[in-house]
Every structure is written in structure tokens, then in C-alpha cells.
Amino acid sequence: MKPFTNRPTLTIVALASALAAAGFLASTAEALRTTVFMAPPTAVGVVNIATVFDRLNEAAEWDVKIKNLEARVGEELRARKAELEAGAKSLESMADGPEKEQKVDALRLKKLQAEQFAVMKELELDRERSLKWQSVYRAVREGAAKLADAEKFDLIMVDDSRIEISTQRSKDAPPLETQAKSQISALRILHAAKTVDVTEKLIVQINNSRGSASASATGAR
């Protein structure tokens, strides 16, 4: 008696099973590929930071404040210098003696005080300039966060693709090659399309926010 099992039938069943398994593996692999490579695109915006700093209302307000301080310091220094020059001139006609020595000592003290005043005021001006940049940068960072939230940007970057490499020779400067390589290593963006430039939007965002804050502060007084 022949065996019940039919070899051609078994072969067909085995082939069908293998094809089904291969199809399952292929569909699984395709599903995995879809999961890996179908991440949503990142919405990116770039800004020209120099333009932003130049056109922010807060930066202009700081500049006025610093210029006024510079003017007051300059006026005081000129007054002290004129006083020293007048004192020195008056000494030229004085005869040597205790009175002249006393005035010379007083003049030296005034000169020392004037020098100390100049150093102190230069430090004060430097502090104000530093505070300006810290405050303006903080406003830019906060404004960028608000703009990103409002317009659904995932990333807003400083566009440094327009910066040209510049080198110069001087006594204490490093070699020109070192200067060039150092500048290149600090750059991050090689090209940015105009379509992703959000400089104008960011300027409007920051200036409007500052205007609203100033109006609220004025109304609360």
C-alpha cells in the first residue's frame, strides 16, 4: 500500500509557508523602515543677530543711557583737568617757599584723585555696557522662544553664514592661518535660505513685547 502522504502536496504547502513567512518578514521590515525614517521634519528659523541688536528698542534705550553717562563723565574729567592746569599755571608765578610747597602737595592730591575718578568711571561705563548686552541678549532669547511657540518653530538659530573671514597682521596677533582657522571653527551655518529667515519677525516680536510691558508699567503707576 502507498503511503497516504502526497509528496507534491507537502512541497506546495512548504513553499506556501515559506512565501507567507517571507511576506511577513518583508512587511515587518517595511514597517520598521517606515517607523525609523518617517520622523517629522524640523521647522527651523534663522536670524541675523547683528540686525536684531541694531534695531531693538531696548538696545537704543541702553545706548542713550550710556551716552548720557559718558557725557557726564567727560564733562567732569574736563573740569578736573582745567582745574589742574589752572593750579599748575598759578604755581609758576609763586616764589619758592612753604606756601608753594603746600599748594604743590594739594595739586598732586587733586591730580591723583582725578586719575582715580577716571579709572572708577571707566569701570562704571564698562559695567553698564556689559549690562546692556546681557539684557539685550536675554530679550532676544526670550523673544525667540515666544516666536517659536507662536509659529511652531522647533529651532531658531543665529545665521553666521554671511560672516566673512578677516585676518590682520600686527605685532601681537597670531599667524594669519591661525586667525582664519579660529574664525572658521567658530562658524556653524554654511548656508541658510531666505525662506527660513525670521529676523524681521523676531524684531517685531521683541519690540512689541517691550512696548506692551512699558505700557503696563506706566498704567500701573
Residue 96 falls inside a structural domain: yes
* Residue-number span of the structural domain to which 92 is assigned: 44-208
Strand partners, 157: 46
pLDDT in tens, 122-177: 999 999 999 999 999 999 999 999 999 999 999 999 999 989 999 999 988 999 99
CB atoms under 10 Å from CB of 35, counted, come to: 9
In the predicted structure, residue 1 carries a pLDDT above the cut 50: no
pTM listed for this prediction = 0.74
Residue 26 falls inside a structural domain: no
> If phi over 0 gives left and psi between -120 and 50 gives alpha, with beta otherwise, what is residue 149?
alpha
Residue 50 falls inside a structural domain: yes
Residue 37 falls inside a structural domain: no
- The number of distinct structural domains making up the chain is 1
What's the burial of 52, exposed, middle or buried (CB within 10 Å: 0-12/13-18/19+)? Answer: buried
> If phi over 0 gives left and psi between -120 and 50 gives alpha, with beta otherwise, what is residue 47?
beta
Residue 137 falls inside a structural domain: yes
Residue 87 falls inside a structural domain: yes
Residue 217 falls inside a structural domain: no
Q: Please tell me the predicted confidence (pLDDT) of residue 68.
A: 97
pLDDT band at 45 (very low <50, low <70, confident <90, very high): very high
What's the CA gap between 66 and 73, in Å, rounded? Answer: 10
- The lowest-confidence range among 15-29, 30-44, 88-102, 178-192 is 15-29
Residues ≥6 apart with Cβ < 8 Å to 144 = 47, 156, 202
Q: What percentage of the chain reaches a pLDDT higher than 70?
A: 81
Residue 33 falls inside a structural domain: no
